[in-house]
Structure 1
Amino acid sequence: MYKTTDYDYHLPEELIAQEPLSKRDRSRLLVLHRESGLIEHRQFNHIGEYLRPGDTLVINDTKVLPARLYGRRKNTGAKIEVLLLEQLEGSRWEVLVKPGRRAKVGDTIVFDDGRRVLMEADIIDSTDTGGRVLEFTYSGQFLELLDRIGTMPLPPYIKKELQDKQRYQTVYAQREGSAAAPTAGLHFTRELLQQLQQQGINVARVLLHVGLGTFRPVKVEDIREHKMHREYYEITPETAGIINKTKERGGRVIAVGTTSVRTLETAAGEDGEIHPAKGWTDIFIYPGYKFKCIDGLITNFHLPKSTLLMLVSAFAGREKIMAAYQEAVKKEYRFFSFGDAMLII
C-alpha cells in the first residue's frame, strides 16, 4: 500500500486526450460506488442523477495564469522560455527556465509582443530545485501584459496546441494564480451548474492555486517519504457556513477535483467542521488517511505513480481504484487533463 509501484498502471498513449471535446459536459463519466465497487458508465451531463437536494458541490474557482513566457537574453539575444511558478513578493517570481544552464544570476531577459519590449526580468537568485527567482520591471498592469504575451502552460503530455485558451479554464474561474487548471471542473457548463442548483444542490467556492508539483511523479520507493509541494488556499466564512450547514442537515459534500479535497481536508477540524482559513497547504493524502469532510468526489483520471492517484485511492480504496482504471483503459476512456471524468460516491 505504501510502495510507489502499487500505483502504477499501463496506459496506451493514444488514450491521453490531446484536446478538449467540443462540448464540455459531453465527456464520459465513470461512476464508482465506494461500498460495493460497482462501476457504471454514463455521460457527464447525467451527473445530477447521482446528486440529491441538499448536497453541496465544492468548486475551486482559481484561474490559470498564461504563465509560459518566451523571451530572449538581453546580452546575447538567445531565446529563453520562462514558466511562472509562484509570486514571492511584489514583482519577484519563482520560475522555471529553459535552457536552465544558460540562465545565470545577473542576466536580464526581455519579453516583447513582436513589436516592442513589454517587460524585462533580472535573474536575481537560484532555487534549491533548479529554478530561478526573477524580478520583473514593466509599465502598466502585470496581469494585462501576461494576457498579451503569455501562453497557457499545458501539461507536458499534451502535444497539440490549444486553439481556444478558455478551454483550459473552468467556466467559474475567477481568481488568477494557478500554473495548471483544476481539471475536474472543466466538464461543467454554466447551464449544467444552473440545472443542478435548480435541483436543490448547493454550490460553494474555495480557492487553491494549483502548482506544477501536481504533475510530478513520486520518485521515492516508499510514498511516506515523498515531500509534497505547497499551494495557496482560501476558504471564506460564507463557504464554511454552507458546508457546515450541509453536514448538519444530513447532506453530502461532493468535492469537484482533488484541489477542492485538499483545501477542505486542510481546513477541517477532527469533527469535520470547516473553519474559514487562508494560507499554504502541503497536505499529502494517501491510503490510511481518515477523511474528515468529503462524502464524494468528482475527478479526472490521473497519471501513474502520482500523488493524485494516491489521493483517490485513499478515498475509494486502492484495489477498487486500480480496478476502475483497468476498466477505463479497456473501455477506452480519455485520460488526464482534457479527458473523461470519474464520480466516486
Structure 2
Amino acid sequence: MARIPAEQRGPGLGRDAVRLLVSRGSEQVSLHAFRELPGLLRAGDVLVVNTSATLAAAVDARLGREDLVVHFSTRGDDGRWAVELRTPAGGGTTRPHAGGPAGAVAELPDGGRLVLEEPLAAGADRLWWARPRPGPYEVPALLRAHGRPIRYAYTERDQPLSAHQTVFAVPAADGAGSAEMPSAGRPFTAELVARLVSRGVQFAPLVLHTGVASQEAHEPPYPERYEVSPTTAGLVNAARAGGGRVIAVGTTAVRALESAADEAGRVRPAAGWTDLVVTPERGVRVVDGLLTGLHEPGASHLLMLEAVAGRAAVRLGYAEAVARECLWHEFGDIHLLLKDESSNHSHC
C-alpha cells in the first residue's frame, strides 16, 4: 500500500516520482518511471482528464450521544446530499456505520444539522440522502471551514487538501466536487504536462464528480454528475478521425466519456447524471487506453480495465505489479493499459 504521497518519500522527489506499469495487449508488459510517459505516447494522442476538484468531504458530527464522521459524497439537484456515516476508529481513520434511520438528525459543527431521509438506492443503506439545515448551500462553506479529506486506514496520516488535488483541478462555482480525488491524474506536474504538449499530445478536459467509494463492499459505482463540453467532444472526435489514440486519465474519465458517446463511438456534448457501469460485456466505444491506479482484486473498476484492454492484459499486468512490488491506491503507482494494436482495426 502507498501510505504517503510520492513527494514525501525522500528529498527532492515530486508527485511524478511513481512508477508506470505499461500493458500492451495480453503479452507485453513493462515497468517505467512515470516521467517517461511522454516517450510512451505519440503526437496526435489525446489525454482526457477530469478537472473535478477534491472536496474536504469528511466532517465530524454527532448522532444522539454517538460520535460520527460524515462523508459528503454527492450533491443532488434538489439540494440534498448523499452522505455516508462512519464511526471514528482512532488515529484519524473510520469504520462503517449503518445508515439511517429515516428522520435521524446528525448535528454538525456551527449549529448545522443533517436530516437523514432515505437510502440512495433500494436495498443499499451505505449512502443516504440527507437534507442539510438550515440550507443546502451551506455545505460548501461547512466543508471549507470544518472538513478534511477522506482518509482510509492504509494511509499513514492525514494529508492537507492540496495533497488530494490534481494539477488539473478547477473548483466549481457551485461548490460541487469530488468526495475522493480523481487520483490517476495526481502524478502529473506542470512540467510533465508541458513536455507532453511539446510532443504533440493534447489534453481534453471533462468533469465527473466522484462520490465516496465503497472500501469494504466494492459495490458498483452509483450515479454521478458529469459534463463533457463541445470542445472536448470535438477534440476526441478529431483525434479518432486522424488516427490518434484516446487515453482516459482515470476510470472517472472513462465513465464520463463513454456516457457521452453513441454506439458508433462519436462523442457528443453531454451533461447530467450517469449511471453507466463499463463492463467487458458492454465494452468501450471511444477509449483506446487508460491511465489508472492499481485496484484491489474485488474492485468493480477491474471490469472497466478488462473492457479497455481485455482480461488477459489485466491479469498479466497485475501479476507483474505484484512481482515488482508496485504500490497500490491513490498515492501509488500508475498503470497504463493500451489496446493491442496488432489486432486493432482503424477507426472509421
**Normalization by structure 2: what TM-score?**
0.83
Which residue does 1:223 correspond to in 2?
A: none
CA RMSD of aligned residues (A): 2.3
Q: CA deviation at 1:265?
A: 1.3
Cα pair 2:47 2:204 within 8 Å, conserved: yes
Please state if 1:273 is matched with 2:258. no
Paired residue secondary structure (1:26): coil
Matched residue type, 1:163? Q
Cα pair 2:5 2:163 within 8 Å, conserved: yes
Cα pair 1:61 1:206 within 8 Å, conserved: yes
Paired residue secondary structure (1:172): coil
Q: 1:214 to 1:184 in 2, by over 3 A?
A: farther
User: How far apart, CA to CA, are the structure 1 residues paired with 2:116 and 2:222?
Assistant: 23
User: How far apart, CA to CA, are the structure 2 residues paired with 1:132 and 1:271?
Assistant: 37
> Equivalent of 1:29, from 4, 20, 41?
20
Please state if 1:253 is matched with 2:246. yes
Q: CA deviation at 1:87?
A: 1.7
Paired residue secondary structure (1:24): coil
Note the residue ranges of structure 1 that are not aligned, 5 or more in a row. 1-15, 220-226
> Equivalent of 1:133, from 111, 129, 132?
129
Cα pair 1:57 1:254 within 8 Å, conserved: yes
Q: CA deviation at 1:90?
A: 5.2
Q: CA deviation at 1:311?
A: 1.1
Cα pair 1:204 1:239 within 8 Å, conserved: yes
User: How far apart, CA to CA, are the structure 1 residues paired with 2:292 and 2:336?
Assistant: 6
Cα deviation, 1:90-132, whole Å, max 9, x if unaligned, reads 54222122355696544443333xxxx2x41142423142244
Q: 1:323 to 1:271 in 2, by over 3 A?
A: same
Matched residue type, 1:257? G
User: How far apart, CA to CA, are the structure 2 residues paired with 1:143 and 1:301?
Assistant: 31
Q: CA deviation at 1:165?
A: 2.2
Paired residues, number: 314
Q: 1:77 to 1:91 in 2, by over 3 A?
A: farther
Q: How does 1:145-294 map to 2 (within 5 A)?
A: 145-154=142-151, 156-174=152-170, 175=172, 176-213=176-213, 215=215, 217-218=217-218, 228-294=221-287
User: How far apart, CA to CA, are the structure 2 residues paired with 1:153 and 1:273?
Assistant: 36
Structure 1 runs (4+) greater than 6 angstroms displaced? none
Which residue does 1:92 correspond to in 2?
A: 80
User: How far apart, CA to CA, are the structure 1 residues paired with 2:334 and 2:213?
Assistant: 21
User: How far apart, CA to CA, are the structure 2 residues paired with 1:28 and 1:146?
Assistant: 33
Note the residue ranges of structure 2 that are not aligned, 5 or more in a row. 8-13, 88-96, 339-348
User: How far apart, CA to CA, are the structure 1 residues paired with 2:318 and 2:149?
Assistant: 28
Instruction: Among all aligned residue pairs of Structure 1 and Structure 2, give the percentage whose two residues are the same amino acid.
Output: 32
